[in-house]
Homo-oligomer: A and B are copies of this chain.
Amino acid sequence: MSLKHALLGLIDLEPGSGYDLTQRIRNSIGFFWPSTHQQIYKALHELLHEGCLDVEEEPQQHRPDRRIYSMTQHGREELQRWLDKPSPPTKIRDAFLIRVFCAHLWDEAHLVERLNDEQQRHQHVWEVYQRLAGRMDQWPESRRKRYRFARHTLQLGIYIEEAWQRWCRELQELYADK
């Protein structure tokens, strides 16, 4: 299960609680491996059971105690083994493209409108990525170095969003002035 190894990778960079990891995933690995807190808590329990992680309870008042996870030697070995395996091909799942596929059932004005919405959505995601990247680029050297691969994956996200926007714009032009 890739989510487990994603968690090992994150914890290897910096230990944290399920809550912490949920936030961190949302701003990094979540872009190319979407996951909810429910999955994450479950995966953490399993990793703990398998001896890949250690926990330390941090007592809190008025709310559940934080359970801080950190790597074990076994976890590090497991991650290493996984890293050397080949990756299955990327998967995209996009219902909007199914709709475009059926766009002969729309009139062209409606198509252009939907393409415009879609383009704005991708522009928004692009802006989120850019902001995040900009902030990361201002981190102090040591942190920037530690997270440089996270930064690289973000760059791919930026390129992909640009591809989407280009496509939306070109199609809009094609159907707008007809």
Spell out A's residues near B (CB within 8 Å).
Answer: 2, 5-6, 8-9, 12-13, 28-29, 31-34, 79-80, 83, 87-106, 121, 125, 146, 149-150, 152-153, 155-156, 159-160, 162-164, 166-167, 170-171
Partner of A90, one of B96, B100, B146, B150: B96
User: How close is A15's CB to chain B, nearest CB, in angstroms?
Assistant: 15
Contact B89 A91, beta carbon cutoff 8 Å: no
Contact B91 A9, beta carbon cutoff 8 Å: no
- A5 surroundings in chain B (CB, below 8 A): 98, 102
User: How close is A28's CB to chain B, nearest CB, in angstroms?
Assistant: 7
- State the copy count for this chain: 2
User: Chain A interface secondary structure, helix, strand, loop or mixed?
Assistant: helix
Partner of A153, one of B33, B97, B104, B146: B97
Contact A105 B87, beta carbon cutoff 8 Å: no
Contact A153 B100, beta carbon cutoff 8 Å: yes
Q: State the CA gap A103–B13 with chains docked (Å).
A: 11
Partner of A101, one of B153, B166, B170: B153
Partner of A155, one of B12, B80, B167: B167
Q: State the CA gap A12–B99 with chains docked (Å).
A: 13
- A8 surroundings in chain B (CB, below 8 A): 102
- A155 surroundings in chain B (CB, below 8 A): 167, 170
Given A34-B93, A94-B91, A121-B89: A101 and B28 within 8 A (CB)?
yes
